[in-house]
Structure 1
């Protein structure tokens, strides 16, 4: 495990220790005089000692990281010849790459070396293709995995690069859900289960306890695997266009899977539970069957009220909606012929932003003409990211394309990339999500329009 990953693991455990210490203190509030019992004190002291050890461990790892940086050497001298057909690139100044490009280049390096020669072959290819600066960064941020089929474990920096590329194309991430690291693939944190209460009291009367009811939410990495076929012709002619194409292909495959699961994924032990099923049942609202301007406004108001009446902080509120419903709202007119929602052209529904995605179906209901709207305070939604992505390649494997046809990578002169990431989704407060179900909002749905 790399130094940075060990630091992340230590800090992750330290965060859990702090939660457990806080839970002990919260539990002690019900004791006489608010003192800890002997058992609680022993538990607290043990956690405090562990916290001290973790702090010392982080300091040691950070010291080791500084020593490694001071003693860093350039990538080993390259062998003579050029087996990959790519011209050598001299050392370059560090450059800021667009989100996903660094990850895309690692994909290309692994694919072009076909997993042969291990990490050194990947680094040699990176050196020749993108220069020593990128190769040194790659060396610092990858470890060879135990996968004998040519798999590589991509560490925190480049896994984060993939996440940054996903952020603008995965609706839940785009709307501001909080990305939280899951050290060792797990994270336990607190969630709110009800609002607090305050009361007026008389002279010298005891003050009642006034605090939100809380519980625990446990996140664990769910394995998302994507197969991405890449033309070997594309790999042979490297350019910034190739970087972008590979980035787009990988990002698209992972984003589609995340988008669909994060929004409507059913409760499962192997995949994240989506917003639809994280929402409190009382916040799933049936749309008015009669479609007109006033009823549409009323339904949107019900979604907002479902959050505000439960004291949701509304730090990053917004909608997720199907493109068909966006088109409907953009055309909807009042009785005077004015647009009912002119602000939709600016990316808002009323005062709140929206994200449009086909991952919200528009063919639900008995007649196949209904959709859903999601309104949430995305500051209360957490995307757990394990920050360790695995890459593997094959030129012989087969895959099923979008039309259900089995294709051979070897026969089609392609390299098949397998990308595996660990993610989960959770809500800190289930009342922070509201769903409008059965919305038959389609262009032409309003009589006379």
Structure 2
């Protein structure tokens, strides 16, 4: 069955957002009644929303019934791809983030997508025992074999997101993950703050309201191909679970990291911090590299937030490893380390994350980088909580060196992971960017 629910929910999110806009327009205009044109449009949208709700409910019911029919009621001796017998019952272990998702990947890969959820669940029963099977059964029944792969349910998708958190700099620094069950999410965003007043007794208080905009997140598809050696899939241990997880997390994490930081944005991909930052918060680094110049540049980044009354509750930096080395070695005129706190994971009083997703070869001379400072409590990541898995032992792919490799010839299984995600900010001024930072070891004369 093709995935018909996601586009239905995406359309419903658009319809609801337009309905909200019509209501807010009338409310913000003196709380007036809707015009005839607005009322007509609202009624049409309401009817469409009712129709979409009914269609989604029907599709969800069908998925539930199909998944329920595919669920094994009891262990099946000699089922697909396995010999008779199951792994013995054992105490349930607390699994590290991503391991549960990794096991689902391994089960789909081992059954090569044949036999649907029945085969996948049966493989899990025989490989990891009844304790894991009992833990996973209720979650697996919601996962559906769809055209082009397995639609993984929210529990397994959340497990993947938990594993991505330390691998993706923006997530690691505390960006807020918000579920997008309908593929869309709408939030208020502040573009300016309220202004309070001092007044005398019985003096009227002038109305004041924050300038607000709308933060709209919509699911955008991120796809990654992960080649996994079949030797690893054959070997059953928690270590092989972790290795499969790490392979998936690395590929998906790199794509997220690069886009969340420097993505230019398009109809199909989100814009990153670099292009979400307000124009007034993009600063050019001081041309002459010195301790004072570096301190001044970092100060500009922080002031870009604080002077705009950004809450600054979860602030931090994102930098390239080359810049970290530079700051770690930078010395004052007395020979003291300018930033000794780097060893404790801080720049000044704020934490930092390092990632090669911030390039260090920018500029005409190829020796410049960027520094990002943000209040990550205001950065919102919309996670649709739906991941699609597909596997192939015959497909070919292009490796990092540009060479075409055959999964069959190399005894590999090619796993395709598709997730749906978006990113935005609740404050236009919650992000500052320093460009043209030619900070590299030895950049300061005499050091």
TM-score range, shorter chain: 0.7 to 0.9
- In 2, the alpha carbon distance for the partners of 1:231 and 1:410 equals 10
1:247-258 pair list within 5 angstroms? 247-258=245-256
Displacement of 1:183: 2.1
1:95 alignment counterpart:
93
- In 1, the alpha carbon distance for the partners of 2:125 and 2:226 equals 24
1:127-166 pair list within 5 angstroms? 127-131=125-129, 132-147=133-148, 151-166=149-164
Displacement of 1:30: 4.8
- In 1, the alpha carbon distance for the partners of 2:231 and 2:144 equals 28
1:364-383 pair list within 5 angstroms? 364-383=362-381
Asked whether the equivalents of residues 91 and 133 of structure 1 are also in contact (C-alpha less than 8 Å), the reply is no
Asked whether the equivalents of residues 93 and 133 of structure 1 are also in contact (C-alpha less than 8 Å), the reply is no
- Tell me the alpha carbon deviations over residues 72-103 of structure 1, each in whole angstroms, 9 at most, x when there is no partner: x9743313378346972123343321100000
1:446 alignment counterpart:
444
Question: Is residue 415 of structure 1 aligned with residue 413 of structure 2?
Answer: yes
1:346 alignment counterpart:
344
Distance 1:85 1:108, change over 3 A: farther
Distance 1:163 1:336, change over 3 A: same
Asked whether the equivalents of residues 75 and 125 of structure 2 are also in contact (C-alpha less than 8 Å), the reply is no
TM-score, normalization by structure 2: 0.86
Asked whether the equivalents of residues 391 and 419 of structure 1 are also in contact (C-alpha less than 8 Å), the reply is yes
Asked whether the equivalents of residues 89 and 129 of structure 1 are also in contact (C-alpha less than 8 Å), the reply is yes
Asked whether the equivalents of residues 288 and 295 of structure 1 are also in contact (C-alpha less than 8 Å), the reply is yes
Asked whether the equivalents of residues 223 and 422 of structure 1 are also in contact (C-alpha less than 8 Å), the reply is yes
2:225 partner SS = strand
2:441 partner SS = coil
Distance 1:13 1:397, change over 3 A: closer
- Tell me the alpha carbon deviations over residues 91-149 of structure 1, each in whole angstroms, 9 at most, x when there is no partner: 334332110000000000000101111111111100100123245145234122133xx
1:387 partner SS = strand
- In 2, the alpha carbon distance for the partners of 1:323 and 1:255 equals 17
Displacement of 1:399: 0.3
- In 2, the alpha carbon distance for the partners of 1:253 and 1:292 equals 37
Displacement of 1:193: 1.5
- In 2, the alpha carbon distance for the partners of 1:129 and 1:421 equals 26
Distance 1:141 1:103, change over 3 A: farther
1:388 partner SS = strand
Q: RMSD across aligned C-alpha pairs, in angstroms?
A: 3.9
1:3-82 pair list within 5 angstroms? 24=23, 28=27, 30-31=29-30, 75-80=73-78
1:329 alignment counterpart:
327
- In 2, the alpha carbon distance for the partners of 1:310 and 1:84 equals 62
2:237 alignment counterpart:
239
1:121 alignment counterpart:
119
Aligned length: 439
- The answer for unaligned runs of 5 or more in structure 1 is 52-72
1:314 alignment counterpart:
312
1:67 alignment counterpart:
none
- Tell me the alpha carbon deviations over residues 374-397 of structure 1, each in whole angstroms, 9 at most, x when there is no partner: 000011111111111000011110
- In 2, the alpha carbon distance for the partners of 1:324 and 1:412 equals 36
TM-score, normalization by structure 1: 0.86
Distance 1:436 1:178, change over 3 A: same
2:167 alignment counterpart:
169
2:64 alignment counterpart:
none
1:430 partner SS = coil
Distance 1:294 1:118, change over 3 A: same
- In 2, the alpha carbon distance for the partners of 1:91 and 1:75 equals 17
Asked whether the equivalents of residues 380 and 428 of structure 1 are also in contact (C-alpha less than 8 Å), the reply is yes
1:280 alignment counterpart:
278
Asked whether the equivalents of residues 21 and 44 of structure 1 are also in contact (C-alpha less than 8 Å), the reply is no
Displacement of 1:425: 0.8
2:102 alignment counterpart:
104
- In 2, the alpha carbon distance for the partners of 1:121 and 1:20 equals 44
Deviates more, 1:256-265 or 1:22-31: 22-31
- In 2, the alpha carbon distance for the partners of 1:294 and 1:43 equals 59
Distance 1:195 1:404, change over 3 A: same
- In 1, the alpha carbon distance for the partners of 2:96 and 2:429 equals 36
- State which of 213, 218, 221 in structure 2 corresponds to 1:220: 218
- In 2, the alpha carbon distance for the partners of 1:417 and 1:112 equals 11
- Tell me the alpha carbon deviations over residues 384-441 of structure 1, each in whole angstroms, 9 at most, x when there is no partner: 1111100001111000111111000011111100000011111111200000000011
- Tell me the alpha carbon deviations over residues 335-360 of structure 1, each in whole angstroms, 9 at most, x when there is no partner: 11111111111111111111100000
- In 1, the alpha carbon distance for the partners of 2:297 and 2:430 equals 17
